[in-house]
Every structure is written in C-alpha cells, then in structure tokens.
C-alpha cells in the first residue's frame, strides 16, 4: 500500500499523530493512528482527521475508508483526558470532529485491536463497521477523569446496546472485551488478533463489490433515520458546528 494520500492541494503539510495510505487498485484509503505505543489523540489531530475524511469523501477514486492503528493498541484516548478543565466549546468541537466517519458518504470500517478507550472509542462508534479482536478492550473513561462522553457517542452507544447497558458502560467506565462487544452488538465482527488485517481486507473488498451510488444512498437513508435526535442534542447543548 503506498503511503500518502491527499490528492488535493489543500493537504496539510504535517499530519499530527496519524497518516493516510491509499491503494489505487482497491480504491481503499486507510487512516492510521500512528502515535505509539498508545496512539493518544490530540485536539489538533481530531481536527485534521475530520479534514482527512472530508477530503477523502470528495475524492471519486476512494470507495471505502478503513480506520486502524499502528502497534498493539487502537487508542487509549485523548492526550488531554487526564485533565478536568477542558472548555465546553473545545469538548463540543472534539465531539464534532470525532463524528466525521458518520458524516462521510462512503462506508467506514474501524479495525480495533487492544485498547479502544475514550476518544478512540468515540471515533470507532462513528464508523459503520467495527471489527473487534480477542485483545480488544472498549471503554469510555470520561467519568474517571471528571468528564462526560460526547452526546453523539452516548446516543450511538445506546442504540447499539440499550439504555441499561449504556449507563453501565458510561457511569462505571466499564471495560468491555471484544467478544462481549460482539455479543452486545457493538462490534460487527469478532476475530483473533492475528486475523484482524485479513478480515478487514475481506470486508473492504465485499463493500467494494457493491456499486458506489446505491451504497452511498443506503448509508444516507440509514443515517437520516438516526441523526435527527443527535442534531437536536447538538442544538440543545449549543454544540452545533
């Protein structure tokens, strides 16, 4: 897979904590978290990854986007989650940036290995498909940091697991293993860690075999049925961007 990706003149000179790779033949773009060992996500990285999604969404050659990470862990969360004084406006903007996969018109796959905490979990929940492994641990750690998770994240998680389990995960900062995430409906697939790349590639190829126009139309239709309450929540919380 050849590195580098933006094919437009507005590409940023330096990507903060991630890279993008593109396979011409496969029409697949990969956004790869690349700040080992825990791939902590910075505020500027959130904004840049949102811009990356917007750029790739406009690229007609790209049909499928995969979000994955270098090393043993997807992400332990934000690099500022250990503080309790994040301004409300900054928190709202981070939530908007992390929800970029859901606004992308193309299918997005999250390949989750190891820790998938906080912002990493929010980012994955915004994707269309999540592949978990026997090493995967999901958690929303905001409560332990004196914070609350983003509104969109809570809404998406509730729709996947139900209200009782949402409270269990959020209010206890409970860690969910990959197999349990699959059983609960949080993950689309569950595989052993050594099979993650192969299964991700197979899913990407399956999606590429479907015509682009009906695929985008289907995602829009499904998102339209989901996004109304989220939009209301942003307006109520004055987090609209």
Q: What average pLDDT score do residues 88-113 get?
A: 92
Rounded-to-integer distance, Cα 64 and Cα 54, Å: 13
Average pLDDT, the chain: 86
Q: Kindly list the distances between the CA atom of residue 233 and the CA atoms of 43, 44, 145, 186, 228, in Å, as whole numbers in the listed order.
A: 22, 24, 23, 22, 9
For the four alpha carbons of 123, 126, 128 and 129, in that order, the dihedral sign comes to positive
Domain boundaries, the chain: 2-236
Query: Does pTM top 0.75 for this prediction?
Result: yes
Would you list the DSSP string of 97-121? HHTHHHHSSS-EEEEE-SEEEHHHH
Q: What average pLDDT score do residues 7-17 get?
A: 63
pLDDT of residue 146: 57
Q: Is the pLDDT of residue 190 over 90?
A: yes
Determine which helix (DSSP H) or strand (DSSP E) holds 125, and give its type and residue range: helix 118-125
Confidence of residue 91 (pLDDT cuts 50, 70, 90): confident
Confidence of residue 15 (pLDDT cuts 50, 70, 90): very high
Q: Which of 53-62, 162-171, 223-232 has the lowest mean pLDDT?
A: 223-232
Q: Cis (ω within 30 of 0) for the bond into 11?
A: no
Is residue 13 exposed (0-12), middle (13-18) or buried (19+ Cβ within 10 Å)?
A: exposed
Rounded-to-integer distance, Cα 16 and Cα 68, Å: 15
Residue the block writes with tokens 């910075």: 42
Q: What average pLDDT score do residues 202-206 get?
A: 96
pLDDT of residue 172: 87
Assigned fold of 2-236: 2-enoyl-CoA Hydratase; Chain A, domain 1 (3.90.226)
Tokens representing 184? 């609960």
Give 208 or 3, the one with higher predicted confidence: 208
Q: What is the pLDDT of residues 21-56, one digit of tens each?
A: 988 676 999 999 999 999 999 999 999 999 999 999
Residue 83 has a CB neighbour count (10 Å cut-off) of 11
Residue 12 has a CB neighbour count (10 Å cut-off) of 13
Q: Is the pLDDT of residue 70 over 60?
A: yes
């Amino acid at each position: 897979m050849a590195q580098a990706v933006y094919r437009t003149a507005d590409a940023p000179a330096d990507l903060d904590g991630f890279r993008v790779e593109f396979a011409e033949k496969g029409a697949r773009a990969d956004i790869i978290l690349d700040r080992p060992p825990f791939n902590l996500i910075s505020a500027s990285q959130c904004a840049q990854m949102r811009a990356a999604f917007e750029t790739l969404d406009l690229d007609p050659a790209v049909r499928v986007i995969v979000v994955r990470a270098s090393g043993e862990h997807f992400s332990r969360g934000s690099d500022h989650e250990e503080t309790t004084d994040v301004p409300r406006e900054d928190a709202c903007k981070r939530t908007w940036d992390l929800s970029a996969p859901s606004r992308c018109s193309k299918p997005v796959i999250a390949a989750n290995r190891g820790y998938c905490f906080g912002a990493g979990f929010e980012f994955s929940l915004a994707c269309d498909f999540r592949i978990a492994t026997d090493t995967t641990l999901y958690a929303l750690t905001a409560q332990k940091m004196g914070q609350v998770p983003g509104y969109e994240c809570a809404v998406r998680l509730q729709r996947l697991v139900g209200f009782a389990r949402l409270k269990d995960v959020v209010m206890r900062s409970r860690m969910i293993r990959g197999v349990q995430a699959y059983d609960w409906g949080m993950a689309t697939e569950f595989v052993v860690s050594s099979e993650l790349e192969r299964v991700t590639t197979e899913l990407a190829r399956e999606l590429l075999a479907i015509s682009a126009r009906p695929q985008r139309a289907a995602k829009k239709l499904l998102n339209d049925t989901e996004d109304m309450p989220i939009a209301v929540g942003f307006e109520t919380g004055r987090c609209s961007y």
